A and B are shown apart, each in its own frame.
Chain A
Amino acid sequence: MNINIVEDENAGTVGSALIKVMSLFFIGIMIIAFTANPISVGTNEGQRAPDIEGKFYNGSGWTEFDFSSYFNTSWQEGDVSGQWVAIEFMDTDCPYCQQSADEYGQYANAFSVNNADWNGPHVNFLASATELSIQGHDSDRAEIEQFRSEYNHNFPYIDDIDQDNMEEWGIPGTPNYFLIQPDGIIAWSSSEHADEKISDAILRLVPRESV
């Protein structure tokens, strides 16, 4: 019986080079795996909220908005001292946004440290005002200021007329609400809980001293 043995004198060269490079690659990956705990950025619950950019109006003028200043990444679940964030993506010309504006303003006052009846942490309310690409929905900063004043809102309104933030967050329509933990992780979104109001989500998810 003849056995043909194929010899490749160069196989060892490729093999040893491959082992060296693979080892290096896995060392690199392992260093990252052991020293970092990446959380994906997105708008689903459990993901890190994407950034929100633009100018915001707080009643006195339009200044640069710093979304990251609302978060403390060292916050631990259950800690009642961290401030939460509730954000509404809205359009001043959207009828549903107008209908819910009074209610949203009331929530902002209710879930505030200024409300003695609220025993939980402060919830910062925000509104990102866009201009939907629908006829009759033309908007500008003056309209945003007027809307805020009309509903007696005392929280910041972010100018998203160019829809940049709306696109970044993948918002399909307005109004759309998110509740964000003090560490910047999305705890609740209205698109995942169509039957639950943001106020109920706050009561359910935000830790309180007596609970």
Chain B
Amino acid sequence: MFDLSSNVLVAVYLIPTLVGFLIVSPLGNSVTSSLADRFPSLKTARGRLLSGLQLISLAGFAVSTQTLWISSKISEGGSFCSSTSTFSCDDLLGNSKLNVDPVFGLSWGLIGMATFALLLFIVFVLKQEPNHPLSERFINIGVLTTGIGLLVIGLLVSYEIQEEKICLYCTTAHIANIAAFVGFFRLRRLHEKRDEWNKS
């Protein structure tokens, strides 16, 4: 049976992720134009990208925390989103072989938390000091981290195909990583154009 409550809860994470994705996408300018008066940071391309990335990273961090929590609850013997349908995150998050990375045995949820915390750190620094001496390096770290994340997503999706189950919480974290990759990639291109970057 489709577990409505647990799967609907995903929307709490998915909606801000998608909104953030929209803001960092090329459509971001037109989407946020009506909000620019209320949120002045949305007036510039840099401000939009950093705001979108902040939203994405926060949502990604929160959903990663939720997946780690679900894994922990399942290990206690409980269930969270167990279902006979394809949408059963318990079958993936509760699988002791698949819910940890194959090298160090760290929970994917914990890795997600650390990754999105790193992205948040970069966003906070760039928001506060856009011309920080390490800004270029930070942006490159963001691109690299989310780029590696794309490979991890490939591995985790292969697990979903193998188990014939879809974990909506994991998928939301994957979307957040893809959105963050797009955001940091566009941020790097903007950073190369110093005039655009320094517009305020």
B residues 41-96 in Cβ contact with A at 8 Å: 61-62, 65, 68-69, 71-73, 75-78, 96
Segment at the interface with B among A25-33, A89-97, A106-114, A119-127? A25-33
- Contact of B133 with A by CB under 8 A: yes
What's the interface size class on A, roughly?
20 to 34
Look across to chain A and name the residue whose beta carbon is closest to the beta carbon of B79.
A68
- Contact of A148 with B by CB under 8 A: no
Look across to chain B and name the residue whose beta carbon is closest to the beta carbon of A35.
B69
A132 to B77, CA, bound (A): 31
What's the interface size class on B, roughly?
20 to 34
Contacts of A36 in B (CB 8 A): 69, 72-73, 76
With A17-B124, A28-B61 as contacts: A73 and B69 at CB distance below 8 Å: no
A50 to B74, CA, bound (A): 12
- Contact of B157 with A by CB under 8 A: no
Chain B nearest CB, measured from A82 CB (Å):
12
Contacts of A17 in B (CB 8 A): 121, 124-125, 128
A168 to B95, CA, bound (A): 10
With A13-B129, A13-B132, A16-B128 as contacts: A40 and B65 at CB distance below 8 Å: no
Q: Is the beta-carbon distance between A28 and B65 smaller than 8 angstroms?
A: yes
Chain B nearest CB, measured from A43 CB (Å):
11
Q: Counting chain A CB atoms within 10 Å of each CB, which of B62, B76, B133, B134 scores highest?
A: B76
A40 to B100, CA, bound (A): 12
Q: Is the beta-carbon distance between A71 and B77 smaller than 8 angstroms?
A: yes
Name B's interface SS.
helix
Q: Is the beta-carbon distance between A32 and B72 smaller than 8 angstroms?
A: yes
- Contact of A203 with B by CB under 8 A: no
Contacts of A22 in B (CB 8 A): 117
A18 to B124, CA, bound (A): 9
- Contact of A204 with B by CB under 8 A: no
Look across to chain A and name the residue whose beta carbon is closest to the beta carbon of B132.
A10
Q: Is the beta-carbon distance between B124 and A20 smaller than 8 angstroms?
A: yes
Q: Is the beta-carbon distance between A41 and B117 smaller than 8 angstroms?
A: no
With A73-B77, A183-B77 as contacts: A25 and B69 at CB distance below 8 Å: no
Partner of B77, one of A13, A18, A184: A184
A29 to B114, CA, bound (A): 11
- Contact of B113 with A by CB under 8 A: yes
Contacts of A32 in B (CB 8 A): 65, 68-69, 72
A158 to B70, CA, bound (A): 29
Contacts of A205 in B (CB 8 A): none
A63 to B134, CA, bound (A): 61
Partner of B61, one of A24, A39, A40: A24
Chain B nearest CB, measured from A85 CB (Å):
14
Interface set of A (CB-CB < 8 Å, partner B): 10, 13-14, 16-18, 20-22, 24-25, 28-29, 31-32, 35-42, 48, 50, 71, 73, 168, 183-184
Query: Would you list the 3 A-B pairs with minimal beta carbon distance, nearest first?
Result: A73-B77, A17-B124, A36-B72
